[in-house]
Amino acid sequence: MRKNSFNLIACAMVFVSCLVISNVIASKVVVTGLSLFGNPVMVPSAVLCYALTFLATDVVGEIWGKREAQQLVRIGFFCQVIALGLIVMAQFLPAADPAMQQAYEMLLGQNFVFVAASLTAYLCSQSWDVFVFHRIRDWARGRDESGFERKRWLWNNASTMTSQMIDTIIYIGIAFGIGSGWLFQGEMVGTLVAMMVGQYLVKLIIALLDTPFFYLLTHRAVHEAQEAE
């Protein structure tokens, strides 16, 4: 991928699209068929879609820099708020078909606690992702100026894996631990922990699988930057 404005806009469009869609489809919970601590491991159907947002910020950070990646995170937050407002507004418009209104509220009805959990988890995890990505990248460059680009897997994986952990703990902790009260119910604490660990393990696998795509998307720009030096 070349370092130009068209590709930066394309990355931003993919980022925002995946971010907004992940919030829309997150209400569908998928059973993985796995169990942990005697509890089934369940993940939101948006787990793959949302993981692509971390890949997008890593690609933007690698090619265009930390400032652009941070701007992308801020833009994503405002886009989520706009999408939320439009969804809620449509929810209160009079419906021609009561069954359609019921289906709309079931799929897209917004629970305040879940919205707060989603936005808080997003800001914390994505900001952490950008911070760790560039902190490790700058550290690696300081130690090996000429060949540090070969270690791109290091900051790509470290930033995504740790930020996904933050995202999982905050979202599930607020949405289910506090919102559903599981944190205060002794019999549900195991389920809460199993959900956190199970979802994080799934996200961890996805984070490892996105590394080849990160290399593929950043290879050309990194090679051109080396030739220009």
Predicted model pTM: 0.89
Mean pLDDT, residues 206-215: 92
C-alpha torsion 133→136→171→114, nearest 10 = -30
Q: What is the pLDDT of residues 147-161, one digit of tens each?
A: 677 788 999 999 999
Tell me the pLDDT band of 43, cut-offs 50, 70 and 90.
confident
Residue 182 Cα to chain centre, angstroms: 24
| pLDDT at site 121 | 93
Mean pLDDT, residues 162-173: 94
Q: What is the pLDDT of residues 113-146, one digit of tens each?
A: 888 888 999 999 999 999 999 999 999 888 876 6
On the question of pLDDT at 79 being above 90, the answer is yes
Helix (H, G, I), strand (E, B) or coil at 149: helix
* Alpha-carbon distances, residue 2 vs 17, 76, 162 (angstroms): 21, 23, 28
Measured between alpha carbons, how far is 126 from 161 in angstroms, rounded to an integer?
A: 11
Q: What is the pLDDT of residues 55-72, one digit of tens each?
A: 999 999 999 999 999 999
Angle in degrees, 0-180, between the axes of helices 186-209 and 211-228, rounded to the nearest 10:
40
Q: Taking a C-beta distance cutoff of 8 angstroms, is the pair 63, 221 a contact?
A: yes
Count of C-beta atoms within a 10 Å radius of residue 4: 12
Residue 19: which of 79, 96, 100, 70 has the closest Cα? 79
Tell me the pLDDT band of 227, cut-offs 50, 70 and 90.
low
Burial class (CB in 10 A: 0-12, 13-18, 19+), 188: middle
Measured between alpha carbons, how far is 158 from 204 in angstroms, rounded to an integer?
A: 10
Find tokens 């897209």 and name the residue.
Answer: 108
| Identity of the residue numbered 4 | N
